[in-house]
A and B are shown apart, each in its own frame.
Chain A
Amino acid sequence: MSLANVATVYRKELTEALRDRRTLVTTFLVPLLMIPLMSSGFIGVMSVVLGKAKREKPRVMILGGEDSPGVVSGLKGFPKISVLPATPDWKERIVAKKIRAAVEIPPGFQANLGQQRAGTVKIYFYRGELKSLFAAGNIEAYLKEYRDDVVTERLAANRLPADLLKPFDVKQQNVAPPEKEAGAVLGGIIAYLVIFMCLNGGMHPAIDLTAGEKERGTMETILSSPVSRTHLVLGKFLLVLTASLITSALLVGSMGVSFTVLERTHSMDAMSDDGEPAPQLTVGPLAVASVFIMAFPLAVLFSAALITISVFAKSYKEAQSYIVPLMFLVVVPSVAAMLPGVELTPKLAIVPLLNVSLLCKELVTGEYHWNYIVLIFASTCVYAAGALYLAVKMFQRESVLFRS
């Protein structure tokens, strides 16, 4: 009747968990469906919205330009915009999304063009509004083309080569391998999701096995058996840990499948600029395994913390209300780690949760700073051991087990 009892308790809890619809949903269904639904939903909606915005022929107004028929007729004939007659309320119309943008041609534009002082053409748009942004872009594209034509004509008139004003081209070229590129894009998100799922996966089983037992009246039954309370809590803890790890593993698995499908179906293409390749979404198995190794002590910490908190509650609902602040404690540093520019430093390496999040972000990009890895893994193990000790102690307290 020693550690065998831990295994007996674990096996029984596993049997019950696999028969509990709520556990099955939170542990298996949510991680399996969340990412495919989120990615297909979000990316699908974004693709539709962006595609529609790009396809729309935006309505614009030309302000002024009566003395510059060349540019005005050019704009009117530009197939990517539709020119409406100017009205005095053009500004309100942009804000009300009746028209997408307006272009102001300064007085004497065409005449001044020949004298090299044509002035500034202003484009008015609604910042933050996607279709307005595209309209402004289209107008600017036409004006740049017009300017280039003027320059080319002048060079030709002076019998100068066309590339006189453009002696060289500038082009950006990505040299990062696809995995690194994906790591930079997805590192923070993967770390966040793995950490959050470690917590989320263990939440329901932890409550069910502690406050749930109190509520159902089985706590006294099990306490009357010869199993020691330490073995009892360890058996329960192992089940919560299992659920936590399975949930995050399934999430990463489904994320891998979803992203592969997105890449193969070119669903992301609409989200990149014309002619630019879509961002890579393939993350190597080594990177994912590294994240899991780092997340393991964190899962231990969460499982023990969840048991400690929920055993204190008298009912399932009460336990849920206690766990909400813990969710915030976990989400805030994980989200902070996703922010661009937040990098792992010696000071941040000792901040619990944030350190693991930042390290995971690095691991996904294939960077292995062993001093940080050892420091963060060891410190998280210490926190996890402390939380487990606390959970065992809570299970010894009558005032907690028989709280009324």
Chain B
Amino acid sequence: MPSASTGTASAVLFSPGTPRDGKARRSQEKDAPVIEALNLSKTFQDKKRGAVKAVDDVSFVCRPGQIYGLLGANGAGKTTTLRMLATILKPTAGTARLCGHDIVEHPERVRATCGFLSTHTALYPRLTAEEMVAYFGRLNGMDARTLKSRIDELFGRLDMNGFRDRRCDKLSTGMKQKTSIARTLVHDPPVMIFDEPTLGLDIMTARTIIDFIRECRDRGKTVIFSTHVMREVEKLCDVVGIIQNGKLLAEGTIEQLRQRHGNNDLEEVFVKIVSPHYRESA
């Protein structure tokens, strides 16, 4: 039985045309943002609390081949921000652009340019792993021949052929994660959005995800992901945005944040930034 081992997805998860040298690409196109959040805001109506601002005037930019980490505590507004970028939710104010497509005006185009993975994006239990991936390929407008070769390629590289025809409700957690990864990658999107992708996973499965995110960056994809795990941020992120109570409080590379706050421990930096005292002085 195939295991959810790490480092399996490295070679051909991406189309042949995608540059392999992510750093070279990053340097070439560093001024052309792939993701632009422009004063993004989201207010929910709550029966008890009234209007709740989950995201409050958030703006940031992700450049090609970068991993942007959205760091925040539970309820900080990370999921809402990412859901808005993936056009699952509509902003109440502001907007964002993914690969030049406006999330409000062209949500379907935006969704075609990104792959979205979160702990809430489950698999259809009564479909097989292959049917699940093929379904999303078809919804992305892929023709039968392209889809077949893409599935063969992905299943081979992710070591999924052993459970290709097994129903998703019969898969192990690791197999499910691989199927979800194949589902997000089937149409080879230039942007990947991950909402706390390792939440609740065991170490080995979480490592598969971490390797996969790094792999995305190395293949030139632009990645934005949310987490509250400092170690993941340190391992992966080129740029970090710290979010609390829906507001983006600080942004920069890990090194910049450490220098700015005079502390090498990222956790300490984070705690300092999200503390009420810091916010008041800011």
Contact = CB atoms under 8 A, between A and B. Distances in A.
B120 A217 contact: yes
Contact of A223 (B88, B127, B141, B167): B88
Interface in B93-139: 108-109, 111-112, 116, 118, 120-127, 131, 135-136, 138-139
A227 B139 contact: yes
B144 to A, nearest CB: 12
Contact of A12 (B86, B88, B121, B127): B127
A402 B90 CA distance: 12
A216 B89 contact: no
A15 B138 CA distance: 15
A232 B241 CA distance: 34
Contacts of B136: 225
Interface residues of A, number: 23
A343 interface: no
B6 interface: no
Contact of A8 (B86, B88, B109, B135): B135
B111 A225 contact: yes
B120 A1 contact: no
Contacts of A399: 45
Contact of B108 (A1, A15, A20): A1
Nearest to B80: A402
Contacts of B138: 8
B89 A16 contact: no
Given A5-B139, A12-B135, A218-B122, A224 B86 contact: yes
Interface in A9-63: 9, 12, 15-16, 19-20
B45 A221 contact: no
Contacts of B59: none
A12 B118 CA distance: 22
A220 interface: yes
B245 interface: no
A223 B107 CA distance: 11
Contacts of B131: 12, 15
A82 interface: no
A320 interface: no
Nearest to B117: A224
Nearest to B89: A398
Contact of B124 (A8, A16, A226): A16
B140 interface: yes
A1 B141 contact: yes
A225 B124 CA distance: 14
Interface string A60-89: 000000000000000000000000000000
B45 A218 contact: no
Interface residues of B, number: 29
A284 B5 CA distance: 65
A19 B167 CA distance: 10
B121 A221 contact: yes
A152 interface: no
A20 to B, nearest CB: 6
Contacts of B108: 1, 226-228
B123 A218 contact: yes
B111 A221 contact: no
Given A216-B122, A402-B89, A224 B141 contact: no
Contacts of B120: 217, 220-221
Interface in B3-40: none
B140 A225 contact: yes
A12 B130 CA distance: 12
A224 B107 CA distance: 10
Interface in A350-384: none
B280 to A, nearest CB: 31
Contact of B90 (A8, A9, A227, A398): A398
A199 to B, nearest CB: 24
Given A216-B122, A225-B139, A16 B127 contact: yes
B131 to A, nearest CB: 7
A220 B131 CA distance: 18
B16 to A, nearest CB: 23
A9 B135 CA distance: 8
B30 to A, nearest CB: 28
Contacts of A220: 83, 88, 118, 120-122
Given A217-B121, A221-B120, A227-B108, 12 more contacts: A1-B112, A9-B139, A15-B131, A218-B123, A221-B121, A221-B122, A224-B111, A225-B111, A225-B139, A226-B112, A227-B139, A398-B89
Give me the 3 closest cross-chain CB pairs, A-B, nearest first. A217-B122, A224-B116, A221-B121
Interface of A: 1, 5, 8-9, 12, 15-16, 19-20, 216-218, 220-221, 223-228, 398-399, 402
29 contacts: A1-B141, A8-B135, A8-B138, A8-B139, A9-B139, A12-B124, A12-B131, A16-B124, A19-B126, A20-B126, A216-B122, A216-B124, A216-B125, A217-B120, A218-B121, A220-B88, A220-B118, A221-B122, A221-B123, A221-B124, A224-B86, A224-B88, A225-B140, A226-B108, A226-B112, A226-B141, A227-B108, A399-B45, A402-B89
